[in-house]
A and B are shown apart, each in its own frame.
Chain A
Amino acid sequence: MLSPARIIEILVLLASIIGILPLYPYLDLFSRILLPLAAISGLVVHNKGIRLPTIVLTLASIAIFFSYATRFGHNNVAAPAANLLALLLAIRFMGEQSSRAALQACALSVFCLAASTLFALDPIFLFSLILLSFFIISTLLLLTFHETDKAIMLNRFELLSLGKLAVWTTGVSIPLMLIFFIILPRTQFPLWNAFAGKGQTTSGVSDRVEPGRSTTIETSLAVAFRAEMPAIDPEALYWRCVVFNRYSSDAWVREMPPSREIDRAIAGNRVQQTIFFEPGSSRYLPALDQPLQVRAPRATTSGDLVTTQNLGGSNRSKIEAISTLGETLRVTSIDREFYLRLPSELPPRLAAVADAIKGRGKSDLELVALAREFFITSRLRYATTNLPTGSNHLDNFLFTAKKGHCEFFASSFALIMRRAGVPARVVGGYYGGVYNQIGGYFVVSEDTAHAWVEVFIDGVGWQRVDPSRWSAGFAEIGANRNRGILRRLSTLLDTFTYYWHATVITYDLGNQLSLARNAGAMLQQIKLPRATSRTMRMLGLGTAGIIAFFVILKFRKGRSANRIALAFIRLSGYDSPPKGKGILEIATEWHNEDATRFATIYAGAIYRDRGISKAEQRELAALLRNLKALKSKG
Chain B
Amino acid sequence: MAKTALIVDDSTSMRQMVGFTLKGAGFTVLEGGNGQEALAKLASAPGGKVDLIITDLNMPVMDGLTFIKEARTKAGLRFTPILMLTTESGDGRKAEGKAAGATGWIVKPFHPEQLLKVIEKVLPA
Q: Do A and B interact?
A: no
